[in-house]
Amino acid sequence: LDGITKESTEAMINEVLAVYPEKARKKRAPHLGANDQGSGSACVKSNKKTVPGVMSARGCAYAGAKGVVWGPIRDMVHVSHGPVGCGWYSWGTRRNLVTGINGVTQFAMQFTSDFQEKDIVYGGDKKLRTLLEEAKELFPLAKGISVLSECPVGLIGDDINSVAKTASKEMGIPVIPCNCEGFRGVSQSLGHHISNDTIRDYIIETREFAEPETPYDIALIGDYNIGGDVWSAKPLLEEIGLNVKAVWTGDGELEKIAATHKVKLNLIHCYRSMNYMCKVMEEKFGIPWHEFNFFGPTKIRESLRSIGALFDETIQANVEKVIAKYDPIMQGIIDQYKPRLDGKKVMLLVGGLRPRHTIGAYEDLGMECVGSGYEFAHTDDYDRTAPEMPDATVVYDDPSEYEFEKFADALRPDLIGSGIKEKYVFQKMGIPFRQMHSWDYSGPYHGYKGFEIFARDVDMAVNSPTWKLVKSPF
């Protein structure tokens, strides 16, 4: 990219690090680097404990379990087990949309055991048991109940596993304990892993699909239906002739998830949060898995062809038909928005997938990614990031708010895509912003349907006349 070299990026990093005390500097330095595009491997260290005292954007294991993996399963009751706060503040904010009738066939409601002092002192097992029975009685059509531990449950040593086991037997529905106390691990990432393990131990192989098997049976893994993403991605996979038998876990159904051991292929969008179960299903049931990217027409085209290559000529012909159908529509969108966005620079900081997966969609609109990083990615994510980002651009792992602001000040992007904690800081700096977790109350962004909305939203943010009225302090 123009004006960005390995030297300039490293100088920028050193300037930011210079304000830290020596110990913190030593800890943070390996997490900031200049991308080596050709290497195909990570230029930073990751998945390490946040340096105490710096402002991190990370969440916790409970967030990864309740908010990410379990919450989107629509036909279960999900219990936030512990004090009310974690449940309350994790309720609905991720925008994982669901179909069905609330309280009857879907349960996008807040259930909490609402721990009080006496539960901390005397234990909350009895209360949990009562709650499970009440939930079953009030919501008889729920297919199961998940019990998601908050920190205090682990700290006082409650045994939710045995409560769940007896309740499940006596009530006749799956009650799944998930020991995802927020203090476990270094970020929400361990919450994903623990939840994957729980699906492995309690759910998979407990059901069969109702319909007969076909060679085109697949599962859509790691799409959480944020702003309706699944409702764009699933029809597209169906349009090329695949049978999407289960979705993990966006607008998900427990019994279909439980029967996923019968599919022929797992297609995984969010690698970070669900690679664990793909690997389990490969080892245990011989089901291959394949990564794809449904952000922006270039990546969609590549992905559809790579998916087609795993099937026969019928599917491959369908893929070409679908591409030929949507390419002109996508070109129309690009013709409309690219002149308004060409050459604009974007910086990203999101969780574990989008900082690499959305780059192509910005590039389809003529934009350039001048910096990207993750809250909780691991080395295998950074390996996958290297070829997606322009050479020598800055990569940041679990950056502090200070680091992110300083990089933005130095690089002067035309757009930042990150989370709600970042949004108002950057808008006050006069920088256009999109909230790239919840799609900023918009979406879907996946698939062809999503790109049209994405392009409109990016244009709306970058070219809003509002920015002429904001006096930036920088």
Report phi then psi at 193, rounded to 5.
-60, -45
Pick between residue 9 and residue 372 the one whose CB is nearest to ligand ICE: 372
Distance of CA 137 to the CA centre of its chain: 33
Pick between residue 354 and residue 384 the one whose CB is nearest to ligand ICE: 354
Residue 342 beta carbon to ligand ICE: minimum distance, rounded to whole angstroms: 26
129 an active-site residue?
no
**Residues written for the chain:** 474
Residue 237 beta carbon to ligand ICE: minimum distance, rounded to whole angstroms: 17
Residue 292 beta carbon to ligand ICE: minimum distance, rounded to whole angstroms: 13
Residue number of the CB atom closest to ligand ICE: 351
Residue 411 beta carbon to ligand ICE: minimum distance, rounded to whole angstroms: 21
Pick between residue 68 and residue 77 the one whose CB is nearest to ligand ICE: 68
Residue 415 beta carbon to ligand ICE: minimum distance, rounded to whole angstroms: 17
Residue 444 beta carbon to ligand ICE: minimum distance, rounded to whole angstroms: 13
94 an active-site residue?
yes
Residue 14 beta carbon to ligand ICE: minimum distance, rounded to whole angstroms: 28
Pick between residue 188 and residue 198 the one whose CB is nearest to ligand ICE: 188
31 an active-site residue?
no
Given 78, 94, 193, 446, the catalytic residue? 94
Pick between residue 113 and residue 400 the one whose CB is nearest to ligand ICE: 400
Residue 439 beta carbon to ligand ICE: minimum distance, rounded to whole angstroms: 9
Given 28, 31, 192, 261, the catalytic residue? 192
SS (H, E, C) the chain: CCCCCHHHHHHHHHHHHCCCCHHHHHHHHHHEEECCHHHCCCCCCCCCCCCCCCCCCCCCHHHHHHHHHHCCECCEEEEEECCHHHHHHCCCCCCECCCCCECCCECCCCEECCCCHHHHHHCCHHHHHHHHHHHHHHCCCCCEEEEEECHHHHHCCCCHHHHHHHHHHHHCCCEEEECCCCCCCCCCHHHHHHHHHHHHHHCCCCCCCCCCCCCCEEEEEEECCECCCHHHHHHHHHHCCCEEEEEEECCECHHHHHCHHHCCEEEECCHHHHHHHHHHHHHHHCCCEEECCCCCHHHHHHHHHHHHCCCCHHHHHHHHHHHHHHHHHHHHHHHHHHHHHCCCEEEEEECCCHHHHCHHHHHHCCCEEEEEEECCCCHHHHHHHCCCCCCCCEEEECCCHHHHHHHHHHHCCCEEEECHHHHHHHHHCCCCEEECCCHHHCCCCCHHHHHHHHHHHHHHHHCCHHHHHCCCCC
Question: Which residues contribute to the site for ligand ICE (CB under 6 A)?
Answer: 64, 68, 94, 188, 224, 270, 272-273, 350-354, 437
User: In angstroms, rounded to a whole number, what is the distance separating the alpha carbons of residues 383 and 41?
Assistant: 4
Pick between residue 95 and residue 406 the one whose CB is nearest to ligand ICE: 95
Pick between residue 149 and residue 188 the one whose CB is nearest to ligand ICE: 188
Report phi then psi at 458, rounded to 5.
-65, -45
User: In angstroms, rounded to a whole number, what is the distance separating the alpha carbons of residues 326 and 321?
Assistant: 9
192 an active-site residue?
yes
Given 63, 135, 219, 392, the catalytic residue? 63
Pick between residue 31 and residue 354 the one whose CB is nearest to ligand ICE: 354
Residues tagged active-site: 60, 63, 94, 192
